[in-house]
Chains A and B, each alone.
Chain A
Amino acid sequence: MATTSAAPRVRPSAARTGQPRMAPGRWFSELGWRHLVGVLAVVFAMFPIVYVVSAALSEGGTLTGSNRLFGEVSGSNFSALGDSMFWTWLGNTLQIAIATGVGTVLMGAAAAYAFSRFRFRGRRAGLTALLVIQMFPQMLAFVAIFLLLIGLGNVMPVLGLNSKLALIAVYLGGALGVNTFLMYGFFNTVPRELDEAAKLDGATHAQIYWTIILRLVTPILAVVALLSFISTFGEFIIARLVLQSERNWTVAVGLYGWVSSLLEANWGLFAAGAVISAVPVLLLFLFLQKYIVGGLTAGSVKG
């Protein structure tokens, strides 16, 4: 965590004082080329995004018609989304991603608390087992997940194929494996003296957990919830298998359907849908950049 957030910042005013005195040649070899590289990199990074925004705003919905950047600006693609299932899909995606994010945080944090604060038989073995299990991406077992849900669906349709609840349950199956370690490390940084003091004051373990520990580890909870939200948002392979009727699809499944079938005709619609569904994730990302990157790094690099 500390790696990125503790980046040294030099005040811009101090940085700029040296600049005007540089000779042009020296300026270019020291700084100018950096701007050149920066502009090129920004163009590379941004042109697809500019293009998709332009395509979303174009009048016609075809791929060819989208090639003139901002040739015409109209909201027709966005209003056409209203006639499609897009908003249903977006609603499904948000439901699934939010439920998974919340569930992941609750279960992961509880497990991390147990591993971090209690000493019990099988603790080491449990941690090692989690470490081993997290090596196996759940996605690889999609055939078995599909077959399992067929079986479960015979008994309880609500947990079978074509159920959003079943998909959430499948995603929650990955909650402990991936996140417990991230959280465990962070929980360990909260001094034990705090809980011991609270315990002396008569607090129960549950009170310590809910009122002391969870408040101190909020940053990592936010990171885990976000990472879980974002990865669920974009998950395709299991969602595609589980959610079979169009009404239950997520955005990833639905937009894929638009593009893979009749690519030409649906392009404007896809572009509009892409812009709308990218916005929430993009905003989360830009505002919480520092935490996310910190969280990513904290997983493996010891700060």
Chain B
Amino acid sequence: MSTQSTLDDTSTAAGDGDAPGRPRRRRRSPGTPHASGTVGGLVAKLVLMAVVNAFGVFAILAAWNEESYGILAAMVALLVAADWVYFSRRTLPLKYVLPGLAFLLVFQVYVVAYTGWVAFTNYGDGHNSTKEHAIEALLVQNERRVEGSATYPITVLERDGELGFAVVDEDGDVRVGTAEEPLAPVDGATLDGGTVTAVPGAELLDRRQVLERQDEVTTLRVPFSDDPEDGSIRTQDARTGYVSTSTLEHDAEADTMTDVTTGTVYSPSDDGWFVSPDGERLNVGWRVAVGFDNFSTAFGDSRYAGPFLKILAWTFAFAILSVVTTFLLGLFLAITFNDTRLGGRRIYRTLLIFPYAIPGFLAALLWSGMLNRSYGFVNQVLLGGADVPWLTDPWLAKLSVLLVNLWLGFPYMFLICTGALQSLPGDVMEAAKVDGAGRWRTWRSVTLPLLLVATTPLLISSFAFNFNNFTLIYMLTNGGPRFADASVPLGHTDILISMVYSVSGLDGTAAKNYGLASALSIVIFAIVATISAITFKRTKQFEEIS
């Protein structure tokens, strides 16, 4: 590196490892190997860094506006790192690693860490945000019109594409607000006999427009001020606005909510709800750390523990059986076609690879139709009109999943077994023959062990893949048939990852429970990590790091 120090400026120039520098590099000028490339590279680098900086600054400002301080901090850190790496002379390796590293940190490392955090909270429906947001939402949701409260003459208007109200208050001043922005005084509004006739920067809606947008107008809620306890203005007739205030009151000091109509006091509980002394709770809660509750729910709660253990067992059975069946069939076929005298081997091989080249989701969807009980090809044609419940009987569904996975997976095993068989050392086989070993003996004591040594790492990664083979399960059976006794939407062919998906509620079939879903993800992480650790020990992949 030291010989290069004089060139460092030029070497950093194109070192940013991005596409636009590339075509310029192709230009060859044998006399001066780096002169032309350097200028082009420098320009490319400066342009790229300008784009990166512009985007970074934009993102930082946007995050500042939205008060997302976490994103703000991350963006600042990334931007500073990028500028430092690409403009410093001492960060050569990082120039090549940084682009990938940035994505890796945000979308892989961070999300895994975040999963770990969510697993220890009750994040989900009812506990979607912070306590401040929960209080605000409660106050807004419980707003009622106060009997005998003040009414104001209002005018409906549209400002920046949003509906709002112009209100004439007690002093005769005009105040304007929208759903997002609380009422605030405006200057320059014209009044005509107590009604607003013009507001600068906004367009007043006439009678017809109001009628057209009646639903929007009657549901519009304009906060009175920044403080949710001041209530809001609503209207029924688009002419008079009345003040609604919340029937709940938040006492910041005691941190309790009081229902002013009944006098009930709700105090915060450890699990993120406001609860009254007789156990009634308000319907919006907030996120709190719940320790190992999610894990104990998975293993102990009767609603989840039963299905969870069954699903765990089936996940292992599915992954192991998938590997074993595909491997055995693939190996058998590889041996079958490993005879050089056999004609048409190439045709056989090409045709056998077809299932592997079909994207997995297509294959699973295709089979789900073919295995349909009443109309599917398998029942109707292959079995001559039989009525086999391939996907709706618990055991047959499991068998079907394994069969389809066999169809999908055997070509891969066939390919790697063929490769391994062909690369077996000839001298060892020769030696076995010389020692008088028969075909079977050679096969069992020489071929098979060598084959297994070569393929074990692939078998283990195939296991890890099938352990999380979400697409197959979701598309073929969607986890079904359902457990008869479970209150949660889980079924006999669900594997852990599809259970996580159901529990998370992101598909809309169940209440969202991010906490429990993340806890289950962590369990899968632990299992997969253990298996991978064993793989590494076996393949000694670490030895390659030198």
Whether chain B is bound by chain A comes out as yes
Q: Please report A residues at the B interface, Cβ cutoff 8 Å.
A: 2-4, 6-8, 10, 12, 15-16, 18-19, 30-31, 33-35, 37-38, 41-42, 44-46, 48-49, 51-52, 62-64, 66-67, 69, 102, 106-108, 110-111, 113-115, 118, 120, 123-124, 126-128, 131, 133, 135-148, 151-152, 154-156, 169-170, 172-177, 180-181, 184-185, 199, 201-207, 209-211, 230, 233-234, 236-237, 240-241, 252, 255-256, 259-260, 263-264, 267, 270-271, 274, 277-278, 281-282, 285-286, 289, 293, 296-297, 299-301, 303
Interchain CB contact under 8 A, A260 and B478: yes
Q: With A38-B348, A48-B370, A136-B529 given, is the CB distance from A131 to B14 under 8 Å? A: no
Tell me the minimal C-beta distance from B144 to chain A in angstroms: 31
Interface residues of B in 490-532 (CB under 8 A from A): 497, 500-501, 504, 506-507, 514, 517-518, 521, 524-525, 528-529, 532
Q: Convert B359-386 into 0s and 1s, putting 1 for each residue whose CB lies closer than 8 angstroms to a CB of A.
A: 1111101111110100111001100000
Q: Which residues from B are CB-within-8-Å of A199?
A: 3-4
Tell me the minimal C-beta distance from B160 to chain A in angstroms: 17
Q: Which residues from B are CB-within-8-Å of A154?
A: 66, 68
Interchain CB contact under 8 A, B4 and A210: no
Q: Which residues from B are CB-within-8-Å of A137?
A: 464, 468, 528
Cα separation A3 to B420 with both chains bound (whole Å): 7
Interface residues of B in 451-510 (CB under 8 A from A): 454-455, 457-458, 461, 464, 468, 470-471, 474-475, 478, 497, 500-501, 504, 506-507
Query: Can you give 26 A-B contacts (C-beta < 8 A)?
Result: A3-B419, A30-B339, A33-B336, A41-B333, A51-B366, A115-B97, A118-B92, A142-B506, A143-B118, A145-B107, A148-B110, A151-B71, A155-B59, A155-B62, A172-B103, A173-B103, A173-B106, A176-B103, A206-B37, A207-B25, A209-B17, A210-B21, A211-B25, A211-B26, A277-B359, A286-B350
Interchain CB contact under 8 A, A210 and B22: yes
Interchain CB contact under 8 A, A110 and B97: yes
Interchain CB contact under 8 A, B361 and A255: yes
- Closest A residue to B60 by CB, please name it: A155
Tell me the minimal C-beta distance from B407 to chain A in angstroms: 7
Q: Convert B289-327 into 0s and 1s, putting 1 for each residue whose CB lies closer than 8 angstroms to a CB of A.
A: 000000000000000000000000000000000000000
Interchain CB contact under 8 A, A300 and B111: no
Given A3, A142, A234, A297, which contacts B471 in the complex, CB threshold below 8 Å?
A: A234
Q: Which residues from B are CB-within-8-Å of A33?
A: 336
Cα separation A51 to B377 with both chains bound (whole Å): 8
Q: With A123-B93, A241-B506 given, is the CB distance from A111 to B380 under 8 Å? A: no
Interchain CB contact under 8 A, B545 and A128: yes
Besides the known contacts A15-B340, A48-B363, 6 further A-B residue pairs in the complex with CB atoms under 8 A apart: A12-B343, A19-B343, A106-B17, A139-B497, A140-B497, A211-B25
Interchain CB contact under 8 A, B93 and A120: yes
Q: Which residues from A are CB-within-8-Å of B376?
A: 63
Cα separation A303 to B423 with both chains bound (whole Å): 9
- Closest B residue to A208 by CB, please name it: B11
Cα separation A199 to B3 with both chains bound (whole Å): 9
Interface residues on chain B, number (Cβ under 8 Å):
132
Interchain CB contact under 8 A, A201 and B33: yes
Interchain CB contact under 8 A, A140 and B525: yes
Given B112, B422, B497, which contacts A136 in the complex, CB threshold below 8 Å?
A: B112
Tell me the minimal C-beta distance from A223 to chain B in angstroms: 14
Q: With A173-B106, A259-B365 given, is the CB distance from A63 to B357 under 8 Å? A: no
Q: Which residues from A are CB-within-8-Å of B185?
A: none
Cα separation A259 to B524 with both chains bound (whole Å): 29
Interchain CB contact under 8 A, B108 and A138: yes
Q: Which residues from A are CB-within-8-Å of B375?
A: 62-64, 67, 264
- By Cβ-Cβ distance, the 5 closest A-B pairs, closest first, are A173-B107, A107-B100, A300-B457, A285-B357, A110-B17
Q: Which residues from A are CB-within-8-Å of B416?
A: 293, 296-297
Q: Which residues from B are CB-within-8-Å of A6?
A: 423
- Closest B residue to A93 by CB, please name it: B359
Q: Convert B127-164 into 0s and 1s, putting 1 for each residue whose CB lies closer than 8 angstroms to a CB of A.
A: 00000000000000000000000000000000000000
Interface status of B15 (Cβ within 8 A of chain A): yes
- Closest A residue to B114 by CB, please name it: A144
Interface residues of B in 107-124 (CB under 8 A from A): 107-112, 114-115, 118, 123
Interchain CB contact under 8 A, B342 and A31: yes
Interchain CB contact under 8 A, B114 and A147: yes
Q: Please report B residues at the A interface, Cβ cutoff 8 Å.
A: 3-4, 7, 10-11, 13-15, 17-19, 21-22, 25-26, 33-34, 37-38, 41, 58-59, 62-63, 66, 68, 70-71, 92-97, 99-101, 103-104, 106-112, 114-115, 118, 123, 332-333, 336-337, 339-344, 348, 350-363, 365-370, 372, 375-377, 380-381, 407, 410-412, 415-416, 418-420, 422-423, 454-455, 457-458, 461, 464, 468, 470-471, 474-475, 478, 497, 500-501, 504, 506-507, 514, 517-518, 521, 524-525, 528-529, 532-533, 536, 539, 541-542, 544-545
Q: Which residues from A are CB-within-8-Å of B59?
A: 155-156
Q: With A110-B96, A118-B93 given, is the CB distance from A237 to B525 under 8 Å? A: no
Cα separation A115 to B101 with both chains bound (whole Å): 13
Interchain CB contact under 8 A, B458 and A176: no
Q: Which residues from A are CB-within-8-Å of B422?
A: 3-4, 7-8
Q: With A6-B423, A15-B341 given, is the CB distance from A111 to B100 under 8 Å? A: yes
Given A37, A120, A151, A282, which contacts B70 in the complex, CB threshold below 8 Å?
A: A151
Tell me the minimal C-beta distance from B137 to chain A in angstroms: 17
Q: Which residues from A are CB-within-8-Å of B532?
A: 135
- Closest A residue to B16 by CB, please name it: A206
Q: Which residues from A are CB-within-8-Å of B111?
A: 138, 141, 144-145, 148, 173
Interchain CB contact under 8 A, B100 and A108: yes
Tell me the minimal C-beta distance from A211 to chain B in angstroms: 6
Interchain CB contact under 8 A, A300 and B458: yes
Interchain CB contact under 8 A, A301 and B103: no
Given A38, A207, A270, A300, which contacts B365 in the complex, CB threshold below 8 Å?
A: A270
Q: Which residues from A are CB-within-8-Å of B458?
A: 296-297, 300-301
Tell me the minimal C-beta distance from B75 to chain A in angstroms: 9
Q: Which residues from A are CB-within-8-Å of B365?
A: 255-256, 259, 270, 274
Interchain CB contact under 8 A, A176 and B101: yes
- Closest A residue to B65 by CB, please name it: A155
Q: Which residues from A are CB-within-8-Å of B17?
A: 106-107, 110, 209
Given B14, B33, B103, B541, which contacts A202 in the complex, CB threshold below 8 Å?
A: B33
- Closest A residue to B538 by CB, please name it: A300
Given B97, B103, B351, which contacts A45 in the complex, CB threshold below 8 Å?
A: B351
Interchain CB contact under 8 A, A141 and B112: yes
Given B94, B114, B539, B541, which contacts A141 in the complex, CB threshold below 8 Å?
A: B114
Cα separation A155 to B65 with both chains bound (whole Å): 8
- Closest B residue to A185 by CB, please name it: B544
Cα separation A170 to B104 with both chains bound (whole Å): 9
Q: With A140-B525, A143-B518, A199-B4 given, is the CB distance from A286 to B357 under 8 Å? A: yes
Cα separation A162 to B544 with both chains bound (whole Å): 41
- Closest B residue to A152 by CB, please name it: B71
Interchain CB contact under 8 A, A45 and B541: no
Cα separation A110 to B422 with both chains bound (whole Å): 34
Q: Which residues from A are CB-within-8-Å of B454?
A: 3, 301
Cα separation A106 to B21 with both chains bound (whole Å): 12
- Closest B residue to A283 by CB, please name it: B357
Interchain CB contact under 8 A, B517 and A143: yes
Q: Which residues from B are CB-within-8-Å of A206?
A: 11, 13-15, 21, 25, 37, 41
